[in-house]
């Protein structure tokens, strides 16, 4: 039983030789380096070393480059590399350079503090959407029919490549809370749920329509084994929003 068969058997509650085995989120660079110092063969691919199943590590909605040929896609990590980011990107700009950190504006238009010399999550300082006027400006960078959202190599050859793989083919996209958080920032978004719920609903419904239009050609051409929708809407004490807010704002978008 190959990985694709194993994955689909498990996900559809059919008999499989074993459950799929993978690392879902990857590793900090410092973790990998420590393992090398503790005896992991230098240069070893961790998925191979731990005998993980190929093709099960999602991209988590990252901004992807436009690969120009099937060979540029990492073997065994097959996801349709659709671009859900702003086109054009915001110019990346360094706003402040300090000894231990750098403050920059990234391609999403987010101002963030990035620590130097270590793997860590950045501290988000400012986000591009604070009002409906800001959202209208942002929408101009999120046209779903922009051909740059698909890889340069999108063709029958690439579609056949996906159809005949022996490991799962997936699609990964930012979700509704996740994208609203990128637009507004976490604190501003949580406040807006109560003070400006119409703006929250507009962002989430816009995003639902956007991703449906972006993935449309891919869904028609390729039979996917899974879809990954990134939300990241909880912390170590529980979810950021209540069930009622989820039902009001997000559930209609998921039903779309």
C-beta separation of 78 from 170 below 8 A: yes
What is each CA distance from 228 to 34, 129, 172, in whole angstroms? 30, 25, 4
Give the residue among 163, 155, 248 at the shortest CA–CA distance from 197: 248
- The rounded percent of the chain whose pLDDT value lies above 90 is 65
Average pLDDT over residues 39-64: 71
- The mean pLDDT value of the chain amounts to 88
Q: Give CA angle at 91 (89, 97), nearest 5°.
A: 135
Categorize the per-residue pLDDT at 165 as very low, low, confident or very high, splitting at 50, 70 and 90.
confident
Tokens for 113?
A: 């503090």
- What DSSP assignment string belongs to 144-177? TT-GGGS-TT-SHHHHHHHHT-SS--EEEEE-HH
Cα 173 from Cα 215, distance rounded (Å): 9
pLDDT tens-digit readout, 191-211: 999 999 999 999 999 999 999
Give the residue among 191, 176, 178 at the shortest CA–CA distance from 249: 176
pTM of the shown model? 0.85
pLDDT tens-digit readout, 64-86: 444 444 434 444 456 788 999 99
């Amino acid at each position: 039983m190959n990985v694709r068969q194993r994955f689909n058997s498990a996900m559809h509650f059919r008999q499989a030789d074993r459950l799929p085995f993978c690392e879902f989120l990857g590793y900090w660079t410092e973790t990998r380096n420590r393992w090398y110092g503790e005896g992991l063969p230098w240069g070893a691919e961790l998925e191979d070393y731990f005998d993980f199943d190929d093709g099960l590590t999602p991209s988590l909605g990252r901004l992807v480059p436009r690969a120009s040929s099937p060979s540029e896609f990492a073997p065994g990590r097959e996801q349709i590399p659709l671009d859900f980011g702003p086109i054009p990107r915001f110019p990346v700009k360094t706003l402040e350079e300090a000894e231990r950190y750098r403050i920059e504006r990234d391609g999403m238009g987010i101002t963030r503090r990035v620590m130097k010399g270590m793997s860590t999550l950045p501290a988000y300082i400012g986000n591009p959407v604070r009002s409906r006027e800001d959202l209208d400006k942002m929408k101009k960078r999120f046209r779903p029919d922009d051909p740059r959202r698909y890889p340069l190599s999108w063709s029958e050859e690439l579609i056949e490549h996906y159809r005949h793989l022996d490991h799962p083919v997936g699609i990964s996209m930012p979700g509704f809370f996740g994208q609203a958080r990128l637009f507004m920032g976490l604190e501003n978004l949580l406040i807006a749920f109560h003070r400006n719920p119409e703006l929250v609903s507009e962002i989430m419904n816009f995003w639902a329509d956007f991703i449906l239009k972006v993935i449309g050609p891919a869904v028609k051409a390729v039979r996917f084994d899974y879809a990954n929708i990134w939300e990241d809407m909880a912390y170590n004490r529980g979810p950021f929003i209540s069930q009622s807010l989820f039902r009001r704002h997000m559930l209609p978008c998921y039903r779309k």
